[in-house]
Structure 1
Amino acid sequence: MRLKLYLGERRTPFTVPLHYNYFLQSLIYHHLDAHLAERLHNEGFGEGGKRFRFFVFSRLMGDFQREGDHLRFPRGAILYIASPNSQFLESLMLHLLTQGALPIGETRVPLHKVLVEPQPEYHPEVIFKALSPITLRETLRQPGEKYTYYYSPIEPDFSERIIANLREKVRIWFGRDIPPGDAYCVPYAVDLQKNFHMINFKGTWVKGWSGLYRFHAPPEYFEMALEAGIGERNSGGFGCVEVYGGTTRR
């Protein structure tokens, strides 16, 4: 399930920082019950070092112009927030409905309305549209240093790592291992230059790609991809996807 937030007004422009992911993440945490926000932020779900927050959000969807280190939205924007965690979404929605405006950086943006969107119907193969960049990384080491390597969608390891990441999310959330079979997530319409994004998140530069992706996987993977995101850093606003072209919703 996901929430669809209508921000701003058609005739009243608003501006936000160019790199706004952290501000949106903070907004979400600050509009949850305090104990839930603390548990998600500090612990998440899982064991050991591999933990997930099980929520994801999109970019601000709408026409915009860049003005220096800010973005100007002249006619409002839409923000999607998704999660398989009903407690998370219920808490978030209850708090959002008490607000007339939401803080994004130094701007208070009017909140026009909030809609609840149910899960699309499962199909064995779909086209996903990335509503926020998909990122996958690995820390590599060489003598005297280590560095972060980001996988592009055209690399063979990209699909394998997407599915392995989803398998771990599915295992933790559903409490059992569900083999992926012949699952894949491969580029359908991705321009490595036009769909490339470099985003500053709390002082760290993160690389990711938007575009369209062909996705084939079991129902649990489909559900997890839509509600928790694909790839990494989902709770930071990376890897939010939707079914491209629309489907019948249940």
Structure 2
Amino acid sequence: MRLEVIFRCSKGTAIDFNYNHYLSNIITEATEKVAADYDQKKSQSLHTFSQLYLKDYSISNGKMISGSEQIQWYISSPDKIFLETIVKGLTISNYVYIGNSLLEFSQARLLEHPQFYDEMDFTCMSPITIAHAAGGGKEQYSSIDGDFFGENLRQDLVRKHYIIHERFPKNENLSFYFDTNYMKKKSRPSRLINYDGKKIMGYMVPFKVIGSKELIEVGYHAGFGNKNDHGFGMVKVWHKNRS
């Protein structure tokens, strides 16, 4: 399921580019405000969220300066109750902070999910990252043009499918085809996000997936790749101009 959240702010509100950890905190605080009678542990680990969408903004001193009074944000999870809990929590608090900037919760609505096929095109609403342990307890981030980037995405989706459904998918095959023309046109298809002092590298590149509809649906709802609950791996369906 997917939730669209709308905040209101004053024109001229300044928002730091590295806001992911603030958004994570908003989700945590919203769910904690609601006395839910179900175990949220699995839902909280399987969700993702988008970057913020400002209708009009300028850039000054490393911050986005809002030129409008509305900001859109999207949260996705396979658990509808988890998303409804977030809405209840936002309704209770009414206001949230992103750094020192105050935003007013305006409204939220659950969006219909798309029809899933065994071949689909997506664009990124937040960067996709693949992380693995390196020496000294550090993490290393895989390159999108590496040999195992797509395979690691597939294996991660199989793992998530098992957590959600408590079974493996009937079809575990899935291939990723990232838009090489897009990457050639972009000087920096990668994004380096400072998550509360920790640098995380991901990619905002359109891609095609071919294979298991079950795994594609998991990726749409729970996110592709790692660190989804940090605001990575959210996508939307890309309807190419096929004329």
Give the TM-score taking structure 2 as reference length: 0.86
What's the offset of the Cα at 1:147? Answer: 4.5
What's the offset of the Cα at 1:155? Answer: 1.5
Q: What is aligned with 2:64?
A: 71
What's the offset of the Cα at 1:57? Answer: 0.3
Q: What is aligned with 2:26?
A: 27
For the 8 Å contact 2:173–2:212, the answer to whether it is kept is no
Q: What is aligned with 1:84?
A: 78
For the 8 Å contact 1:163–1:180, the answer to whether it is kept is no
| Unaligned ranges ≥5, structure 1 | 46-50
Measure the CA separation in 2 of the matches of 1:204 and 1:242: 26
Q: What is aligned with 1:105?
A: 99
5 Å matches for 1:142-221?
Answer: 145=136, 147-178=138-169, 180-188=171-179, 190-191=182-183, 193-221=187-215
Over the matched positions of the two proteins, sequence identity in percent amounts to 22
Matched residue pairs, number?
234
What's the offset of the Cα at 1:118? Answer: 1.6
Larger strand proportion, structure 1 or 2? 1
What's the offset of the Cα at 1:244? Answer: 1.1
Equivalent residue letter for 1:212: P
What's the offset of the Cα at 1:124? Answer: 1.0
What's the offset of the Cα at 1:179? Answer: 5.1
What is the RMSD computed on CA atoms of the aligned residues?
A: 2.6
Q: What is aligned with 1:130?
A: 124
For the 8 Å contact 1:4–1:79, the answer to whether it is kept is yes
Equivalent residue letter for 1:167: V
Q: Does residue 13 of structure 2 align to residue 7 of structure 1?
A: no
2:205 is paired with a residue whose SS is: strand
Measure the CA separation in 2 of the matches of 1:97 and 1:77: 16
For the 8 Å contact 2:156–2:225, the answer to whether it is kept is yes
Equivalent residue letter for 1:237: G
Measure the CA separation in 2 of the matches of 1:89 and 1:210: 25
Measure the CA separation in 2 of the matches of 1:158 and 1:52: 25
2:108 is paired with a residue whose SS is: strand
For the 8 Å contact 2:18–2:193, the answer to whether it is kept is yes
Equivalent residue letter for 2:50: S
Q: Does residue 94 of structure 2 align to residue 95 of structure 1?
A: no
1:89 is paired with a residue whose SS is: helix
Equivalent residue letter for 2:48: V
Task: Tell me which of 59, 66, 70 is aligned to 2:51.
Answer: 59
What's the offset of the Cα at 1:180? Answer: 4.2
Measure the CA separation in 2 of the matches of 1:123 and 1:29: 33
Deviates more, 1:187-196 or 1:217-226: 187-196
For the 8 Å contact 2:8–2:105, the answer to whether it is kept is yes
Runs of 4+ aligned structure 1 residues displaced above 6 Å come to: none
2:151 is paired with a residue whose SS is: helix
What's the offset of the Cα at 1:242? Answer: 0.9
Measure the CA separation in 2 of the matches of 1:148 and 1:27: 25
| Unaligned ranges ≥5, structure 2 | none
What's the offset of the Cα at 1:138? Answer: 1.8
Name the CA shift for 1:18/1:200 in 2 (closer, same or farther; >3 Å): same
Measure the CA separation in 2 of the matches of 1:115 and 1:146: 41
Equivalent residue letter for 1:53: S
For the 8 Å contact 2:172–2:215, the answer to whether it is kept is no
